[in-house]
Chains A and B, each alone.
Chain A
Amino acid sequence: MKKIFSEEELLNKKIRNKTLISFGVFFLFIAIAICLWFWVRHSEKIEGQYKPLRKVLNANEKVNTFLFNENDLVKTYPKSEGAKKVRANGNYGNKGSHDTVVWRLRVLHSNPQNPADSVLILSLSDIQQLQKQEECYNFKCVEGWSQISFWGGCRFYDFISKYKLGTHSGNAPDKNHPEDLYKYVSLETPDGGYYVGIDMKSMIHSQTLLAYEMNEKPLPENQGYPLRLIIPLKYGIKNLKWIGTIRFSDEQPKDYWFERGYDYDAAL
């Protein structure tokens, strides 16, 4: 004989079935989330970072490059607000000779007249002959701290203009012909222990300096004496101290912290 269910029993059955289906989907969702998690954690690493995350970091960089406005200026402060005790974090790459008598800046460049890499060798006084630029701004470290500090040096753009560097043609850079500029600049310490790669757009920004002074005095040894990069558009990790060699390229140069899992552009 057919069993007859009361209305209440039928309703209970319906409630049970609906609940089971919903929770089935719910647990499936949880299972997929867990699988995704393990998929990321077990993916290969590209430049020290899980591949899926590295891909997103590279995409983020494209968004940032798209939004980049070269006329944006980093906020500056009166020089009296610059810290007297300036924090020095990293000492990677400080093993070279920094004696200004023997220290020379080497700039590797090539041009149609001279296709092979040729080397421009400059002393600190050569750089100091360029117009001096002073900057007091909030220096930001990737670790999360920041500090207002005061720097002096020459604009990187003035430097490549004077010595006709950074272009494919070998002419002085021209902002109306951005295609003539190399896409990247690479900087390295004399001992090769620390190296950064930076996009040209950020390098030719008006606040990017080859700095030789801090608080109106020559750079202290731990701040990169005799010459360091000050690039307010980037985290401190790109502000290379003890500059030894500068190169230009269209391919992304190697970068110390990029190889250790950070995003390439470290842009602010």
Chain B
Amino acid sequence: MKKIIPKHPFVIRWTHWVNFPVLGVMIWSGLLIYWANDIYKISLGDILLFKFFPDPIYKSLNIEHRLSEGMAYHFTFMWLFMLNGLFYIFYTIFSGEWRYLLPNKKSFKEAWQVLLHDLFISRKPLPEKKFNGAQQIAYTAIIIMGIFSVLSGIAIYKPVQWHTVTAMLGGYESARMIHFILTIGYVLFFLVHIMQVIRAGWNNFRAMVTGWEIKRTEAKEIIIAPEPEIISDEIAKEL
């Protein structure tokens, strides 16, 4: 027998799906801004490993010479990003949903098991609950990253008005780098998140849209279900 089990509350689903395009616009417009002074790179000594970003990336995404457009989008969508994020945070606090989302002592051990399972090293089944330890850590970390994106954003948007925030993050240039690294973090999070959603399957994905998931009840119950007995009675009569 199947059962409809409520999983994700309405507010969590909506803030999640609103955040998706909003953060998308923030990252894209951020790239339009970053292009105007694209100084970050990863190098080992004198050897350049990766430049953020190579020209073909800019060209294929049509990023070049669009600074004012990028700023206009960024400083419009920042409001949506912040309001949506604040709404989510307040909701999780006051609804008690934080209990499922915040990591606890066991989360880190569990996250290690999840990692081993996902890399096909361990065959132990994953714990059956709303969010496992790895999810708790990831979904809490992404909120903290969001808070720091807002803070480092303020620090480089209005470094005079909000000089205390700028100073707290190590100055103007340091805040800009933090803002950039967090963005790379979102892209990496997104890639892993998508892979995990695909692996978890339809029932899990559907729950993020509908709010509920289907659980199959124990096989034992099916055996003691009344239907087979009725059929056997009818057959008995005919006989």
* Partner-B contacts on A (CB < 8 A): 6-8, 11-12, 14-15, 18-19, 22-23, 26, 29, 33, 48-50, 52-54, 56-57, 60, 64, 67-69, 72, 74-75, 138, 140-146, 232-233, 257, 260-263, 267-268
A146 to B37, CA, bound (A): 10
- Residue B141 interfacial (CB < 8 Å): no
A146's contact among B17, B173, B209, by CB below 8 Å, is which? B173
Q: Given A22-B209, A64-B158, A68-B161, answer yes or no on A8-B1 (Cβ-Cβ < 8 Å).
A: yes
Q: Given A15-B4, A23-B209, answer yes or no on A146-B172 (Cβ-Cβ < 8 Å).
A: yes
Chain B neighbourhood of A33, CB < 8 A: 21
Interface centre among B75, B161, B172 (most CB of A within 10 A): B161
Q: Is A260 a contact of B4 with CB atoms below 8 Å?
A: no
A26 to B79, CA, bound (A): 23
Looking at chain B's contact residues, the main secondary structure is: helix
A93: min CB distance to chain B, Å: 19
- The 0/1 profile, CB within 8 Å of A marked 1, for residues 152-190 of chain B is 000000111101000000001100100000000000000
Q: Is A53 a contact of B76 with CB atoms below 8 Å?
A: yes
Chain A neighbourhood of B37, CB < 8 A: 141, 143-145
A268's contact among B159, B210, B227, by CB below 8 Å, is which? B159
A7 to B161, CA, bound (A): 65
A15 to B211, CA, bound (A): 12
User: Chain A: which residue is nearest B2 at the CB level?
Assistant: A11
Chain A neighbourhood of B79, CB < 8 A: 56
B28: min CB distance to chain A, Å: 11
A-B contact pairs, 26 of them (CB 8 A): A11-B1, A11-B2, A11-B4, A14-B4, A18-B4, A22-B211, A26-B17, A49-B69, A50-B72, A52-B76, A53-B72, A53-B76, A56-B72, A57-B72, A67-B158, A68-B161, A140-B159, A140-B172, A141-B37, A142-B71, A144-B36, A146-B172, A146-B173, A260-B68, A261-B68, A263-B75
A223: min CB distance to chain B, Å: 20
Chain B neighbourhood of A69, CB < 8 A: 161
Q: Is B17 a contact of A29 with CB atoms below 8 Å?
A: yes
Chain A neighbourhood of B211, CB < 8 A: 22
B4: min CB distance to chain A, Å: 7
A167 to B117, CA, bound (A): 74
Taking A22-B210, A53-B72, A261-B69 as known contacts, 16 extra A-B pairs with beta carbons closer than 8 A to each other, sorted by chain A number, are A15-B2, A15-B4, A26-B17, A33-B21, A56-B76, A67-B161, A68-B161, A69-B161, A72-B163, A142-B36, A143-B67, A144-B34, A144-B176, A233-B160, A263-B71, A268-B159
- Residue B130 interfacial (CB < 8 Å): no
Q: Is B160 a contact of A74 with CB atoms below 8 Å?
A: yes
Chain A neighbourhood of B33, CB < 8 A: 144
Chain B neighbourhood of A144, CB < 8 A: 33-34, 36-37, 176
Chain A neighbourhood of B163, CB < 8 A: 72, 74-75
A75 to B73, CA, bound (A): 29
- Residue B142 interfacial (CB < 8 Å): no
The 5 closest A-B pairs by CB, nearest first: A144-B37, A261-B68, A22-B210, A143-B36, A53-B72
Q: Is B161 a contact of A268 with CB atoms below 8 Å?
A: yes
A197: min CB distance to chain B, Å: 17
Chain B neighbourhood of A74, CB < 8 A: 160, 163
- Residue B48 interfacial (CB < 8 Å): no
A119 to B39, CA, bound (A): 46
- Residue B51 interfacial (CB < 8 Å): no
A257 to B71, CA, bound (A): 13
A231 to B228, CA, bound (A): 86
A144 to B236, CA, bound (A): 86
User: Chain A: which residue is nearest B210 at the CB level?
Assistant: A22
